[in-house]
Amino acid sequence: MRDEPPHSLAVVVDEMTPRDDRPEHDPMLDIRVNVFVERPSQKAIVIGHKGARLKDVGIRSRRAIEALLGQKVYLDLHVKVAKDWQRDPKQPAASRVLSGSPARRAGPRRLGPCA
């Protein structure tokens, strides 16, 4: 994001699965990601006008992930509002971020510019 992202933002990878119908020499990975914010106004900031900001972040993120993994990636991004998720461990975002599972152990990350 070019503008300051909301401070109450968590990115949670929900699922990473290889696509079964792809040939072995050209694999593809499906990645489902939820971006949690605390207020609808923050959701609007993350999505941007007509989805432009989320699209840009998704394209740049997908390219970076593909370069890292060396294979094609379908990145499925969703922005969700989880009111006061940082203060309430019962909220879906907080429980996923704090669950301690290997994919989520790092905790919430701020979205910054992708190269």
pLDDT tens column, 7-61: 778 888 999 999 999 998 999 999 999 999 989 999 999 999 999 999 999 999 9
Q: Where are the domains of the chain?
A: 9-100
Look up residue 86 and give its two tokens: 């940082």
Euclidean distance between CA atoms 55 and 1, whole angstroms: 10
Q: What is the dihedral of CA 93, 67, 25, 104, to 10 degrees?
A: -20
What is the arrangement of strands in the sheet containing 28-37, beginning at the earlier edge strand?
Answer: 9-18, 28-37, 72-81
pLDDT value of position 94: 57
What number is the average pLDDT over the span 83-89? 75
* H-run or E-run covering 36: strand 28-37
Local confidence band at 78 (pLDDT 50, 70, 90 cut-offs): very high
Between 6 and 21, where is the model more confident? 21
Between 87 and 17, where is the model more confident? 17
Of the chain, the percentage scoring pLDDT greater than 90 comes to: 54
CATH class of 9-100: alpha beta
